[in-house]
Amino acid sequence: MIIIKSERDLEAMRAACQVAAQVLDETAAMVQPGITTRELDEFAAECIRKLGARSAFLGYRAGGKKYPCHTCISVNEQVVHGLASGRRLVFGDLVSIDVGVFYHGFVGDNARTVPVGGGDLAAQKLLDVTETALYRAIAQAIPGNRVVDISRAVQQHVESNGFSVVREFVGHGVGRHMHEEPQVPNFVEPGRPSPRLRPGMTIAIEPMVNAGRAEVRRLNDGWTVVTADGQLSAHFEHTVLVSESGPEILTCTSKTLFAPKGS
């Protein structure tokens, strides 16, 4: 069942999403050569605590396991759900930081991939294409469209630039729970039901894009997902409100309505 948020719900969701966005901004600003992913996770945890929220990831259950970190920090070929560790980042790494929080009963969820100190042109193109795919998808989050319009926008932009869209993990509805209906794939699957978008729907749109093939595998830690061919991956995410006045990015710290990149 897709939950349509009331104005009171949306007031609380906006606050939760602003907390998540602030934590992501501050944590991303800490990325530099020499820092460990555990130090980034601990920094994010302290930000979350100071803002009066709690991690939506810590203790998250899947397949009988509990997620052990406050954030998901995935490096280079790691696609999503990377575990914080003593790994020290080096110049040229790509680091995906995914932050989800519970705040006053609602979830805010967002992610971003950043280069450590800088990167080569190929890595930068992967970041640019993935982020632009996100904003092209957000532009489709309007009443009367269907979820598949979001999916198509991501897939077309990614594949036209020579990259691959991950199939095993998708975006999702978000609200009082981290994962709600509908699922929001980043690819078009013929025959898949595609709900119509309605005002009051809140969804996490999150392209996960590989430099090489689309296939992924899970590491023995039970969480970390990596590209099957060992090539780089990027991940960008916003929580978005479908509204009559256009898509509103709830995790945008500027609190502005969406303006399409490159439009």
**Residue 11 structure tokens:** 């007031």
Average pLDDT over residues 93-117: 98
Domain that holds residue 203: 7-249
Q: Are 225 and 79 in contact (CB under 8 A)?
A: yes
- Greatest CA separation for the chain: 48
Residue 254 lies in a domain: no
Phi, psi of 111 (to 5 degrees): -150, 160
Given a cut of 70, is residue 256 above it in pLDDT? no
pLDDT the model gives residue 253: 83
CB atoms within 10 A of CB 15: 17
User: What's the number of domains the chain is made of?
Assistant: 1
**Residue 72 structure tokens:** 């998901």
**Averaged pLDDT of the chain:** 95
Radius of gyration of the chain (CA): 17
263 compared with 163, residue with greater pLDDT: 163
Residue 261 lies in a domain: no
Q: Are 114 and 28 in contact (CB under 8 A)?
A: yes
Q: What is the CATH number of the domain that holds 212?
A: 3.90.230.10
pLDDT the model gives residue 6: 98
Given a cut of 90, is residue 44 above it in pLDDT? yes
Residue 256 lies in a domain: no
Euclidean distance between CA atoms 144 and 139, whole angstroms? 13
Euclidean distance between CA atoms 98 and 111, whole angstroms? 4
Please tell me the pTM assigned to this model. 0.95
Residue 163 lies in a domain: yes
Residue 255 lies in a domain: no
Residue 47 lies in a domain: yes
Residue 195 lies in a domain: yes
With residue 239 as reference, give the H or E element that holds it. Answer: strand 238-241
Q: Are 94 and 127 in contact (CB under 8 A)?
A: yes
Residue 37 lies in a domain: yes
Q: Are 4 and 197 in contact (CB under 8 A)?
A: no
